[in-house]
Amino acid sequence: TRPENTDSRCGFVAIVGRPNVGKSTLLNHILGQKLSITSRKPQTTRHQILGIKTEGPVQAIYVDTPGMHEEEPRALNRYMNRAASAALKHVDVVVFVVDRHHWTPADEMVLNKLTHLTCPVILAVNKVDKLEKRETLLPVLEELAAKRDFAEIIPMSALKDQNIEPLEEAVSRFLPESVHFYPDDQITDRSERFVAAEIVREKITRQLGAELPYSVAVEIEEFRHDGKTLHISALILVEREGQKKIVIGDKGERLRRIGQEARADMERMFDGKVMLRLWVKVKRGWADSDRALKSLGMHD
């Protein structure tokens, strides 16, 4: 926190949008760090993540909501929907991310959840790098503008880092005057353990793609610094024996690759030598059980 002065601003920013529009990619670019995992598969963001960006007098605290999507009977999806709605209640600005090339029923659903919000909603029209003709953008923007009274409409590309700065400027204009809630050098409220687990989960998702649904959880069993090296043991929980085989791969090759890639990221993130050990265990039906979710720390 800094002493109160008139230009000091601070507030919460929710990034919302259906799965796969680029919310995590955007957050990662804004923060310049790998805090929120991204992949081609929807629903990879299970937790509500705070990423803190302080620039001079402005501190923006970003909440990356899990993808909003149709109700599904499984406990995991119920949890994700609750988390998504809860995230919107106490924010100062909402960034609604959509894909420039199609508006879907899922976008409509997210828009409906924004109906009663009184805070400004900025529409971020993402993936404009995929536009073949620039002139096709204008009619799309006009069509989107008619859907709600947006505070700003900003075409951008999270992936190619196009127009992200104007988006951040728009966000900071809508943040209230306030002292900063976090120290200016803090980038997340998440523990290093949490970040370690997210890194492992990202590598699994990237390696396995469509072979594995979102039925993988990672628990950090050991996180210990011995003065020279950071020792991390992570338990990978899957739902079925067959999934365990897939994660481990032929002669352990896949698990080894997941470990190598995760360790490289961890050494960058934690700025030092990391010794990483991975275990795979079958925990039957964990995605179906509310109790199991609670034991994994995923409850609201």
**Interface with ligand GDP in residues 154-173 (CB under 6 A):** 157-160
- Is residue 259 within 8 A of residue 276, CB to CB? The reply is yes
Taking CB under 6 A as the binding criterion, the range among 3-11, 18-26, 213-221, 279-287 that sits at the site for ligand GDP is 18-26
Does 59 sit near ligand GDP (CB under 6 A)? no
Contacted by 40, from K ion, Mg ion, ligand GDP, none: CB < 5 to 8 Å by type? ligand GDP
Q: How many CA atoms, within 13 angstroms, populate the side-chain half-sphere of residue 123?
A: 24
- Cβ–Cβ < 8 Å for 19, 43: yes
Closest CA to 180 of 70, 89, 65, 52: 52
Find where tokens 């997941």 sit: 258
- Minimum distance from residue 45 beta carbon to Mg ion (Å): 3
Site string for ligand GDP, 21-50 (x = CB under 6 A): xxxxx------------xxx-x--x-----
Q: Which is nearer to ligand GDP, 214 or 270 (by Cβ)?
A: 214
CB of 108 to ligand GDP, least distance (A): 16
Report the distance separating Cα 36 and Cα 30, nearest Å.
11
CB-CB contact of 188 with 51 (8 Å):
yes
Which of K ion, Mg ion, ligand GDP, none is residue 243 near (CB under 5 to 8 Å by kind)?
A: none
Of residues 48 and 233, the one with the C-beta less far from ligand GDP: 48
* 125, containing H or E segment: strand 121-126
| The two three-digit tokens of residue 105, written as one number | 């029923």
Closest distance to ligand GDP from the beta carbon of 49 (Å): 10
Contact 61, 13 (CB under 8 A): yes
Contact call for residue 69 and ligand GDP (CB under 6 A): no
Binding mask 32-51 for Mg ion (x = CB under 5 A): -------------x------
Is 65 among the residues that bind Mg ion (CB under 5 A)? no
Site string for ligand GDP, 123-142 (x = CB under 6 A): ---xx-xx------------
Is 81 in a helix, a strand, or coil? helix
What is the spatial order of strands in the sheet that 273-282 belongs to? 217-225, 229-238, 273-282
Closer to ligand GDP by CB, 9 or 62: give it: 62
24 binds Mg ion, rule: CB under 5 A: yes
CA atoms within 13 A of residue 218's CA, in its CB half-sphere: 27
Instruction: Compare residues 21 and 238 and give the one whose CB is closer to K ion.
Output: 21
- Asked if 98 and 140 count as a contact pair (C-beta separation under 8 A), the reply is no
Residue 139 in 3-state DSSP?
helix
Between CA 180 and CA 3 the distance in angstroms is 9
What's the min distance (Å) between Cβ of 72 and Mg ion?
Answer: 17
Rule CB under 6 A: which residues touch ligand GDP?
17, 19-25, 38-40, 42, 45, 67, 126-127, 129-130, 157-160
Rule CB under 5 A: which residues touch Mg ion?
23-24, 45
